[in-house]
Amino acid sequence: MAIIQLLIDEIYYLHTQIAWLMTFIAKYIPLKQFKPEDSKSPDYQKFKTDILPKFQYHQNSWTWEGLIDYYRQRYGKVIKSVRRHKGKPCDIPEDCICPECGAPHEYLYRNNGKGGQLQCKVCSTLFTPSKNRFSKQYTLRCPYCGRALSRIKTRKDFTIYKCVNEHCSYYLDNLSNLSDDEKHDEQKRSEFKLHYIYREFTEDFFALDLDSLPKNASSFRFDKFSMKVVTLCLTYHINYQISLRRTKDILWDIHGIRISHQQIANYCKTAAMLVKPFVDHYDYKPSGDLAADETYIKVRGIKGYVWLIMDAVKRSILGYRCSDNRGVGACILTMRQALNHFREKLPEGFRFIADGYSAYPLAAMQFDLKYGENFRFDITQVIGLTNDDEVSAEFRPFKQLIERLNRTFKASYRKTCGYDSYENANLDLALWVAYYNFLRPHHYFGRKVLNPVPALECVQRMPDKWQQLMLLGQRQIIKLQSEIPA
């Protein structure tokens, strides 16, 4: 009995301690620190991407002739042209028509005298010729409350629209996640993204040509040196990651070839123009898992960005681009280059893994808006350096693959000490991608290349492989030119 009483006393003591700790936590530790990370951090919340808005298209199927016939048959009413005052000519221009039904100026009259407002006698529409509110093809509306979005900011490539409805369910749900202090403090409340926001892009990044050559493209004829010298330059500079000046020294010390580093750069630029079409249009037969990331480079001493998208299963690089900004435009162009390998539609179970940067969800939204269900996909974002959630723990290996690819690229980029222009940066990147996808042996594939090409497998020496790769690029250019409609 004494043992049972001792255990009861111990349980009562522990219950008292737990009650004291719960009281202490509720009294002195604010509960707002236990909110999810995306609601807690104002900096991250502002980059949250919302769903697409509702598009209300303005289409009028009635014309002024049809309306006149309808009124005559339905109501027996005959609509005649406007009767002007005697001796007073019509001051409405002849080219002025009703923006709603298209009635000519004979059916228009001034509604407020010299105020400038006109009214149509056929459809009773009020309008001002200088400020035509009917020029809008559609109206953007909030998907939660249906209210028209307000334009709040205009940027270089896009316009920001916002739902300012204080009774919107999206706004009220986000507001309920804040603490009492944050709700009543206007300055703290403005740090969080509470209202629905949509970015409408003013430039069509899907209309840009990905296969065009640079404006100052040089000739594909190597007059001063033979093709053997050109391929030697590519082998030393790209394969063995040697700078242009060191490549110049090696060619003289070992092969007795006197050539300048600028000539080597010109040859690499011309070779990149030949190889790039083959790299971009090769059928990689990609899997359904892609990983994307961006890293930094220097162009004339100023920070630039390199976007890379790789097949997380087959390890091939499907999309690549250098840009002077980290905006959504460069992200869309890189994703276009990668998703073009899927032809007409994405496979089932398609997954796109990236970091927490907001450009990727915005770019995916534009693909959904442009192509619909065939290219509709979600971005799986691996945020941070530690696995704080189930998504990061599951997809961390994919993120590590693309980070490892960044380090591999940086090893080849370091020899350049930066680029002179973004055109040269993109061409140098194209040569490196060609080497990585078709010429570089990978240890996790048994020291074999990622994409075996029969025309390259029958060649042993690396300079000859580069020559064969340029030949394949020339054939691809001829094929693309033949597909252009006359």
| Distance from C-alpha of 3 to C-alpha of 468, rounded to nearest angstrom | 88
* 236 secondary structure, DSSP code: I
pLDDT of residue 428: 93
Smallest CA-to-CA distance from 170 within 139, 191, 149 is with 149
Smallest CA-to-CA distance from 384 within 403, 370, 366, 371 is with 403
Residues 6+ apart with CB under 8 A from 135: 99
Q: pLDDT by residue for the chain (486 residues), tens digit each?
A: 678 888 888 888 888 888 888 877 776 665 444 444 444 444 455 557 788 898 877 666 678 888 888 888 888 888 888 887 765 667 788 888 888 888 888 889 888 777 788 889 888 888 887 776 666 677 889 999 999 999 998 888 889 999 999 999 999 988 888 888 878 887 778 778 889 999 888 888 888 888 776 666 556 566 678 889 999 999 999 999 999 999 999 999 999 999 999 999 989 998 999 999 999 999 999 999 999 999 999 998 899 999 999 999 999 999 999 999 988 999 999 999 999 999 889 999 999 999 988 899 999 999 998 998 999 999 999 987 777 778 888 899 999 999 999 999 998 887 777 788 899 899 999 999 999 999 999 988 888 999 999 999 989 899 999 999 999 999 998 898 888 765
Mean pLDDT of the chain: 85
For each of the domains in the chain, give its residue range(s) and CATH number, in order of start.
57-79+89-135 (no CATH), 205-281+440-486 (no CATH), 286-419 (3.30.420)
pLDDT of residue 214: 63
Strand 54-57 with 138-141, pairing: antiparallel
Query: 10 Å Cβ neighbour count for 192?
Result: 19
Asked whether the beta carbons of 275 and 470 are under 8 A apart, the reply is yes
| Distance from C-alpha of 328 to C-alpha of 306, rounded to nearest angstrom | 13
Q: Which two tokens stand for residue 247?
A: 């490549």
Dihedral of CA atoms 277, 281, 284, 288 in degrees, nearest 10, equals: 120
Q: Which residue in the block uniquely carries the two structure tokens 């909030």?
A: 142
Asked whether the beta carbons of 434 and 279 are under 8 A apart, the reply is yes
pLDDT of residue 453: 94
pLDDT of residue 486: 53
